[in-house]
Amino acid sequence: MAPPDSAPLSHEPPFVRSKWRFLPAILIFVAITGAAAFFIVRAGKAVKPQRVLIAIDVGGYWWNGSAAAATVSDRLAARLSKLGFDVVKGGDPEASKILEKSKSLREAADQLHAGFLIEAKIVPEIIKHDVGGGYVELRVDSKVTLTYAGEAPKEVGHIVSFSGAAELKEARKLIADSVSDQAMDAVIAPMVQHPAIVEITSKRATNESALLAPAVEWVDRRDKIMKKTMESYDAARAKRVESEKGNPRPTFLSAPSAHDELAGVGPKGFLASTNDIRPFFFPETEQMGWLVQLEAVEWRKVDAAVAAGSAGELQWKGYNIFGYPSSQGDRAVLVEDLFGLAKTITVVDAAGAKPRRIKFDPEHRFIDPKLSPGGKFVATWDRSCPSCAGDLLVLAADTGAVVFQANRENGGFGSFAWLDDHRLVFVHTTSGDDADAKLFPRPKPKVEPGKDGKDAKNGKNGIDAQKAKPTADELTGGSTLDPEEQPKLPAVSVWTLDCAASPASAAVLAEPIEVPPLVGVETLAVQPGGKLVVFGSGRSKLTSLDMTTGTFGEIAIEGFARWPAFSPDGKLIVFEQRNDYVDNEIALVPTAGGKTLKLTLNEANDRLPTFSSDGRFVLYETIEEDPNFPKTHNLSWVASIPVPTP
Amino acid sequence: MSERILFHGLAAQRLRTRAQWGGIILLTTVLMPYDVIGDVPQWIFGLLAELHPAAIAAAFAPTAAGITLLVARKTTKRASTLAFVVLATLLAMSLLVRIGADASAWETLKLPDTIARRTVPAILAMALAGAGANLSFQEHTRKASQVVLGVALVLILGFYLWPAHGESPAGAVVRLARAIPDLPGRFAVGMLFIVLFVLFPLFAVLGATVHALVPAKRDQSIAGLIAQLGLPLLLALLVYRGLITGSAGAGVLVTLATAAFLAAALMLVTASTELLVDEYVGKDDELELPKGLPRNRAAIVTFASAVVIVIVQAALARPPKKGVEWKLHAPTPNEEKLYSEGFPAWNRARRAWGEKLGEAGSAEEMVELKATNHAMKEMAKGLDPKLESAIAALADEGDELDVAGRKFDRLIMDVNDAARAASVPFYVDPSVQLAETKNGLLRTFRITTYRIEKVHPVKIDGAEFAALQVKTLGGYGGHGGLLGFSRDAQPFALVLLDEIDATVRDWQKSIDDGEPACVEGFFGLSSPALEHCGKLLETLGKNGDLKEALTTMTERHELQHQVDGPHLTTSPLVDRHMVGYAEDAIERTNRELSAYLAEMTSAAPPKLGLVHTLPFALLSSGGAEHHVAVILLSAMTGREVPRASDRHRDLDELEQAFEELSAMSDDELRKKAAETWKKAFGGTLAEVKSP
């Protein structure tokens, strides 16, 4: 029995382990694991700024099976990857599945965690040429857009290119290199300068910033080189303006980096044939080069404020124009070189009209086509081989029918020009070979019948009219002399061809005008009205020829003259004044004779002057060395100088 | 409460706790990669369609074991029942994996193969050592602990001393340790670590066996804990090293899982052993055992269940019987086009795309592949519907191939099965190559197409096989490659007639030129045996059709590969010759030895086999064919098979062996080959009969 005062023994309840004792630890573990999983999943789903999806459609996307798009994608991806971007790999089966199933490219980009989406839809203009068994030309002018996640698409550049091949598929593949280069050029700076990328690259010593450092350096390098390149054109122009010592100074109607040729003048202004290049920093080699731009034949106003560098009224566009075009009124004519496979004479009836190829030849070369006033005929040199001298060819501009064709045989043709809308004047130099005479089937002279039918007057060739009654042909003069009856050709002669004689295909040659010895008859120009012709033969005088009397004259000048041109009123002649081979100036002399006025004074090669259609300006071409590609490319500017008032 | 009840209760509680955590660890193994190839994890759920049912069972065996333990923990009343469930489950799991797994992510440690392939005895020894050390604490289990520790010691010594593939783990350790002084700094440290790692089980068991003499001072002794947790902690060190050196990848994840798995297994076996020994040694009436299955009955039920499961797995693991009957019809133009153009074009496009996948872009190659996919499907139109369907599946799924190529093999097998059913006389052979490149793991999937010229069905020990005599399509044949080949997954032996033609052509040319030679080229070795070999070849050529003989011999060679399968026991001759070689090299040499001996028993002149093997013996210094030639020449003439590691080979001996064998008659040679095969592999060489 326990003592009454003692407290009963306390018994601690037996220790019972709670089955929930691990619950707090488990809950904490689950919470930590859950949080970690949440952040991992979120990080996995998050868009990565440096990740890029390339979606360039070239006849479809690569995941649809377009080989050309695949080439573009791979090449662009390789370049961007080299600079540190994480590109969605073209050809990756997982990416392909996502791209095939997604409703939009942006949805696909989000699923692929791509921050940037590069898009372009390359829809080439397809031109089929019936040459060499079939040839396809592609021309591309497409915009490139760049979209960052959550933002609107931005147009960042244009892709302009062309290619040609025997088949469309091959032509598409050929264009891929240029497309990928230009796409890279368009997108890289906007990507590198995007705030999301700047945020990465501005952090030092992180893996991500180190990865993208090459991209930043590349853009920086390119921008510096491009800036220097473009500034050099402006500097070349400024230097050139400064070096012009003439008064007034000429106004340059072409952009500083242009290659414009002066093809003609008209009421619309001047006809420019453009052959521009676009300086380009090639990603593969990191060297400056150029991209050939689409060539154009366009009318530009002579007004300096409008003309310089701006696009004119387009007459024709394409690639590989051969030589100088010419125009009369709305109609223009040019020669196209179809990828070396053929040359064509192409007529464009008006700005925006569909070009017509009126003559096509896989071997011959057509040089310097000239439209007659009114545009009904085209006269051109026709060379049967690259080094051959030219024959003379005249075609009907509407149909391409041959109006006159004369092979040079052993002699040679000199310059030609249109006297009026149907008469062509040209120069021929004979070798003395009898064969040359056969070139020009001269008509039999007309026989005038006597009043009594008995005393017919002799023609020039002494037909005995008394011996036989004249035939109808002899009466009309409609037949040509037999080859044996052809008189010997003068050593050098000026001929006039009448293309409007009936029938149209049988153009008629008038009697030639013999050129006296030592008279130069090169680079001729026709005075409006067609009565006077002048020749600039590189001598210290211009040779004139009165077409009605056949009389030669001289107009004294300073220096040596080539390429004369008459003012619209015929009172002035402008010409290339040569002092040496390199430095040509432009000079002016009255048709009636008088003092030679030098219009330009510089160290450049000014050439091919002409008057504007209103006679107020002299337009000419001037050549400059391209400061960025000095040995391989020249600049060519059209310039104007106001005609001095007397 | 008596002390016995207290410690029994603690042991029971310990077992239940370990069953719970062990079950969870085993359950989570399903989240581990099934395979790791070049640090690229392969997840089981992506491979289910490609795995054999036994492989799937093996893959999920640890998870099933985990579930079993968790359920048993809840449902069993008696701890002894739980202990039997634990042991039976772990045993069944290991056997399921052993029988069915075709890949395992557990073998990521670069241990010598003699050790890596036989870890169960070492693990069991450590577990028993832990149990024994702990059991020494209580007086009534002290004697039993000595027995348990003794068993652990025997097991571990047996593990280290029992040779496998001609070398024991102890021998391997000595060999590795000897190499340490010759290694550069950090490699020496790495090798030292491996040596210590390999020796750790021995140290752990020896440490624990101290308690056979000196009882432990606590219920859970330090030695016991070291035996249970030491090795897992060493593995965890590797994980730590991987994390701090930034080389964390799938392999590290797997190592961590291995460590956890090992710890769970060791602790579960230890706890189960402790409890069962305690119950068996003591008297039940001293314990307050709950009502439940009596111990012996629990043992019978659990182990019987395990046996049933293992038997089912063994049955599942048998390769499915595939038919070998292949009738041939004359190839149609469409079939000809498909196999000679469509498949080779697809092969080239697939390879080109596969090789470029790791680079910045392979869209061009993918477009080309899609074009060839489409072309192949177009070419297959109008053919047998099942064949068309199989080709369409190959085209559609050909870019979704798993790293190890299981799906690829299945797709190609489906094509071949359909072709066989439709009597189409063409065959497609798949191969997958893996290589490490600067862009990561490169997988090259290839196919080679063949035209079947002839099908030769045979019966070997009652089982049906067939040899296909084929010619290579797509321009890949006749370039001096293999004369034939055989794959375990396919029931056909292939004889490449164009390669045989090329070989016979070279031989005939050398005979016609007056300089018969068994091997083309100049080797700078003047050998009477090689000259004699050439003369022997010339005689064989005069006396019979070399092409027919080589075809017969090659067919027998490849059929032997089919008969042997992947589980041919390793010949002691091979073990002796190739001590220290990797498992793969040993296996290949073993299988080739069987086939080369078998081919010399065929109807073809067996001396042709000598002509074929002598150059490998004299002119090569490595490769399976060289090892086979050395073993064959030595063993067939009763000579001791030299070790491959012995650099000073006696070529004279090999030449003399050749002379002896070439002097025998054909029948004598055939008999000698059969006897040698029996000596090498035991049993009788299978006889090939035409039906």
In DSSP notation, B217-279 reads SSSS-HHHHHHHHHHHHHHHHHHHHHHHTT--SHHHHHHHHHHHHHHHHHHHHHHHHHHHHHH
CB contact under 8 A, A65 and B370: yes
Q: What is the pLDDT of residue B498?
A: 92
The minimal CB distance from B363 to the residues A70, A80, A82 is found for A70
Model confidence pLDDT, tens digit, residues A295-354? 999 999 887 655 566 678 888 988 889 999 999 988 999 999 988 888 999 999 988 888
Q: What is the pLDDT of residue A75?
A: 93
Residue B514 vs residue B273, higher pLDDT: B273
At A431, is the pLDDT very low, low, confident or very high (cuts 50, 70, 90)? confident
Q: What is the pLDDT of residue B218?
A: 86
Name A612's Cβ contacts closer than 8 Å, sequence gap at least 6.
A265, A269, A270, A302, A618, A619, A640
A180 near B CB under 8 A: no
Q: What is the pLDDT of residue A2?
A: 45
Question: What is the CB neighbour count within 10 angstroms for residue B53?
Answer: 13
Average pLDDT, chain A: 84
Residue B627 vs residue B196, higher pLDDT: B627
Does A455 score more than 50 pLDDT?
A: no
Model confidence pLDDT, tens digit, residues A561-618? 899 999 999 999 999 998 766 678 999 999 999 999 999 999 888 999 999 999 999 9
d(CA A7, CA A619): 131
Q: In A, residues 73-102, which contact B (CB 8 Å cutoff)?
A: 73-75, 77-78, 80-82, 87, 89-93, 96
Map out the domains of chain A with their CATH numbers: 44-202 (3.40.50), 443-449+458-485 (no CATH), 518-611 (2.40.10)
d(CA A189, CA A200): 15
Does A526 score more than 70 pLDDT?
A: yes
Does B514 score more than 80 pLDDT?
A: yes
At B52, is the pLDDT very low, low, confident or very high (cuts 50, 70, 90)? confident
The alpha-carbon gap from A143 to the nearest alpha carbon of chain B, in Å, equals 22
A429 near B CB under 8 A: no
Task: Give the distance, in angstroms, between the CA of residue A364 and the centroid of all CA atoms in the same chain.
Answer: 22
Probe site for chain B from A63, A82, A86, A89 (most B CB atoms < 10 A): A89
Name B142's Cβ contacts closer than 8 Å, sequence gap at least 6.
B135, B136, B215
Model confidence pLDDT, tens digit, residues A377-417? 999 999 988 888 888 999 999 999 988 888 877 778 888 99
CB contact under 8 A, A87 and B357: no
Structure tokens that stand for A316 in this block: 């024709």
Q: Helix B250-281 and helix B3-27: axis angle, to 10°?
A: 150
Model confidence pLDDT, tens digit, residues B184-228? 677 777 778 778 888 899 999 999 999 999 998 888 889 899 999
The alpha-carbon gap from B442 to the nearest alpha carbon of chain A, in Å, equals 14
- Give A-chain residues touching B399 at CB under 8 angstroms: 93, 96
Name A330's Cβ contacts closer than 8 Å, sequence gap at least 6.
A349, A350, A351, A375
Q: Taking CA atoms, what residue in B is nearest to A71? A: B364
ipTM exceeding the 0.85 mark: no
When mean pLDDT is compared over A32-41, A113-122, A450-459, B119-128, the highest value belongs to A113-122
d(CA A123, CA A142): 7
Region of poorest pLDDT, from A277-281, A434-438, A549-553, B635-639: A434-438
Report, in angstroms and rounded to the nearest whole number, the Rg of chain B calculated over CA atoms: 30
Does A437 score more than 70 pLDDT?
A: no
Structure tokens that stand for B651 in this block: 């070529």
d(CA A416, CA A393): 11
CB contact under 8 A, B362 and A92: yes
CB contact under 8 A, A91 and B370: no
Backbone angles phi, psi at A177, to 5 degrees: -60, -50
d(CA A622, CA A630): 16
The minimal CB distance from A81 to the residues B360, B368, B370 is found for B360
Model confidence pLDDT, tens digit, residues A368-382? 999 999 999 999 999
Q: What is the pLDDT of residue A476?
A: 46
Structure tokens that stand for A435 in this block: 């064969």
Hey, what amino acid is at B641?
V
Task: Give the distance, in angstroms, between the CA of residue B538 and the centroid of all CA atoms in the same chain.
Answer: 41
When mean pLDDT is compared over A6-15, B37-46, B101-110, B444-453, the highest value belongs to B444-453
CB contact under 8 A, B368 and A67: yes
3 state DSSP class of A448: coil
Residue B689 vs residue A640, higher pLDDT: A640
* Model confidence, pTM: 0.72
d(CA A600, CA A610): 14
Overall average pLDDT of the B129-153 stretch: 92
A65 near B CB under 8 A: yes
The angle formed by the CA atoms of residues B459, B461 and B466, to the nearest 5 degrees, is: 25
Residue B96 vs residue A155, higher pLDDT: A155
Does A452 score more than 60 pLDDT?
A: no
Q: What is the pLDDT of residue A492?
A: 84
Q: Taking CA atoms, what residue in A is nearest to B353? A: A91
Overall average pLDDT of the B594-604 stretch: 93
Question: What is the CB neighbour count within 10 angstroms for residue A585?
Answer: 22
Structure tokens that stand for A212 in this block: 């993208």
State the virtual CA torsion across B253, B254, B255, B257 in degrees, nearest 10.
Answer: 90
C-alpha distances in Å from residue A461, one per residue of A50, A441, A478: 92, 15, 15
Q: Taking CA atoms, what residue in B is nearest to A92? A: B357
Q: What is the pLDDT of residue A194?
A: 96
Burial B202-234 (b: 16+ CB within 10 A, else e): bebbbbbbebbeebbeebbbebbbbbbbbbbee
- Give A-chain residues touching B353 at CB under 8 angstroms: 91
- Give A-chain residues touching B366 at CB under 8 angstroms: 62-63, 70, 90-91, 93, 96
Residue B576 vs residue A118, higher pLDDT: A118
Q: What is the pLDDT of residue A461?
A: 38
DSSP labels, B473-484: -TT--SSS--SE
The angle formed by the CA atoms of residues B124, B130 and B131, to the nearest 5 degrees, is: 90
- Give A-chain residues touching B371 at CB under 8 angstroms: 65, 67
Name A493's Cβ contacts closer than 8 Å, sequence gap at least 6.
A427, A428, A430, A512, A513, A514, A515
Q: What is the pLDDT of residue B8?
A: 87
Does A502 score more than 60 pLDDT?
A: no
